[in-house]
Amino acid sequence: MPMTITEKILAAHAGLDTVKPGDLIDVKVDMALANDITAPLAIRVFDELGVKTVFDREKIALIQDHFVPNKDIASAQQTKIMTEFARLYGIKYYFDLGDSGIEHVLLPEKGIVVSGDLVIGADSHTCTYGALGAFSTGMGSTDLGVTFGTGRTWLKVPETIKFVYEGTLGHWVSGKDLILFTLGKIGVEGAVYKTMEFAGKVIRNLSMDQRFTMTNMAVEGGAKNGIIEPDDITKSYLSEHTNKQYTFFKSDPDASYEKILTINTNEIEPQVALPHSPDNVKGISELDNIKIDQVFIGSCTNGRIEDLQIAAKVLKGQKVAKGIRLIVLPSTPLVYKEALQKGIIETLLDAGAVLGPPSCGPCLGGHLGILAQGEKAVSTTNRNFIGRMGHPESEVYLASPAIAAASAILGKIGSPDDI
């Protein structure tokens, strides 16, 4: 029976020859992850299970990234629970400050998650790893706590929607614009419970960093997972980042899809998601004089080296507009170091940016850059729900690093071409 890449990975992990949408399957998990917000709950559940030890100390990843460096006493208590658990069970992939970065950037970068893996994480943006041709999905802490003990989980095989991107990419148009455009088309309920498979010539030419941005936001369409077939670009990324064995799965040419949507990218300009939903998307030329207070560049969506490179390209020799706060958080220590070596950090500092440590902080209104009442921000993150980055009456506009950097210079939402 012909299968999609997602169905093939699920079948392989369920020990079955084939699976089809709607099948309930029991699968083995290659990597189970949680962060400083979700791990303490998962650990409580693990303790309730009453098992002697974790299923495999090399298949659990615990990452401090959300409220780090600890923002207050309560969050310090949370990370302490995680640290003690990791020490007790000898968790191999436990990341404390100094080693730690944003989970969905860190794990591929360290080669811990590879193509063909089945990954679950107590974080909704776990779907990011689909860019490597892995099946990965977010769950809650109870699911994770159980998997810490059993190494398995249950899944319902999803239907797949295939998005085929054809054409060329315009000036300053990136993977972020493609995914925002797509969300604008299908809506935040457009792929609920489903797989979003990204394909077509445009995707084949996209860098790994931009592919991660696209699969990262599959959950914003309600999807279970986002996925991209691995190719030579994936192979080259893996050769630089991992010694782990990996498997390339590909969709059969006659695999069945719930639907196939072809998107002509020739007409796509840089996109912005307006408050308060990631599907409230407009082209940059449709926006008129939206004045802003803050710009944030970072997160699991757009905090990678290529993102910072683009931002620096726009900001080189420019100054952040008076009264605008530009906050940049490189997503991992390695991204930070590379940015330093490439002169990106200096460019950003010269422009007037504030550089901070790797952290999810501002994206979820946690810390390191909170919005006041009535303030507006352009952010390279993934969600702009009410109150997401601060006060319930603040506003978040989602965009690419190029648009974010340009907006910081302009003091209003705009493109590098407007400078």
Partner 1 sequence: MESISRVWKFGNDIDTDLIIPARFLNVSDQNELAKKCFIDVKPDFAGSIQNGDVIIAGSNFGCGSSREHAPWSIKAAGIKVVIAKSFARIFYRNAFNIGLPILESMDAWELFEEGDQIEVDLSAGKIMNKANGKQTMANPIPDFMMNIIQAGGLVQYIKNKDRL
Residues 280-339 that bind partner 1 (CB under 8 A): none
Q: Which of 78, 306, 117, 341 is nearest to 230 (CA)?
A: 117
Q: Of 68, 82, 112, 146, which lies in the binding site for partner 1, with binding defined by CB under 8 A? A: 146
- Chain residues 74-113 in contact with partner 1, contact rule CB under 8 A: 74-75, 78
Q: Which is nearer to partner 1, 27 or 208 (CB)?
A: 27
Place of tokens 């095989």: 157
- The three-state secondary structure class of 198 is strand
- Report the distance separating Cα 235 and Cα 220, nearest Å: 27
Binding mask 61-80 for partner 1 (x = CB under 8 A): -----xx---xx-xx--x--
Nearest one of 207, 380, 363 to 303, comparing CA atoms: 380
Among 13, 104, 162, 224, binds partner 1 (CB under 8 A): 224
Stretch that binds partner 1, among 10-18, 87-95, 128-136, 385-393 (CB under 8 A): 385-393
Provide the token pair at 343.
Answer: 């002169």
DSSP secondary structure code for residue 116 in this structure? T
Q: Is 372 in the site for partner 1 (CB under 8 A)?
A: no
When the beta carbons of 260 and 386 are compared against partner 1, the nearer one is 386
Residues numbered 181 to 200 that lie near partner 1 (CB under 8 A) are: 188-189, 192-193
Distance in angstroms between the alpha carbons of the first and the last residue of the chain: 54
Q: Are 118 and 10 in contact (CB under 8 A)?
A: yes
Q: In this chain, which stretch among 103-111, 138-146, 264-272, 349-357 interacts with partner 1, using CB under 8 A? A: 138-146
Residue 371 interacts with partner 1 (CB under 8 A)?
no
Please identify, using beta-carbon distances, which residue of 81 and 164 lies nearer to partner 1: 81
User: Does residue 255 interact with partner 1 by CB under 8 A?
Assistant: no
Contact status: 386 vs partner 1 (CB under 8 A): yes
| Other CB atoms within 10 A of residue 70 CB | 17
Peptide bond into 276 cis (omega under 30): yes
| Shortest Cβ 231–partner 1 spacing (Å) | 28
| Nearer CB in complex with partner 1: 138/330 | 138
Of 305, 303, 310, 300, residue with least CA distance to 341: 305
- H or E segment and range at residue 105: helix 103-109
Residue 148: closest CA among 50, 42, 48, 65:
42
Least Cα distance to 180 among 302, 280, 105, 267 occurs for 280
Q: Does 45 bind partner 1 (CB under 8 A)?
A: yes
Report the distance separating Cα 31 and Cα 147, nearest Å: 10
Applying CB under 8 A, does 140 fall inside the site for partner 1? yes
Assess 7 for contact with partner 1 (CB under 8 A).
Answer: no
Comparing C-alpha atoms, which of 127, 181, 199, 186 is closest to residue 158?
Answer: 127
Measured from the CB atom, is 234 or 394 closer to partner 1? 394
Among residues 122 and 326, whose Cβ is nearest to partner 1? 122
Task: Examine residue 25 and tell whether it contacts partner 1 (CB under 8 A).
Answer: no
Residue environment code for 9-23, b if the CB has 16+ CB neighbours within 10 A, otherwise e: bbbbbbeeeebebee
Tell me which stretch binds partner 1 (CB under 8 A): 95-103, 107-115, 267-275, 363-371.
363-371
Residues lying near partner 1 in the complex (CB under 8 A) are found at: 24, 37-38, 40-41, 44-45, 48-51, 66-67, 71-72, 74-75, 78, 121-124, 126, 138-143, 145-146, 149-150, 152, 154, 188-189, 192-193, 222, 224, 277, 364-366, 383, 385-388, 392
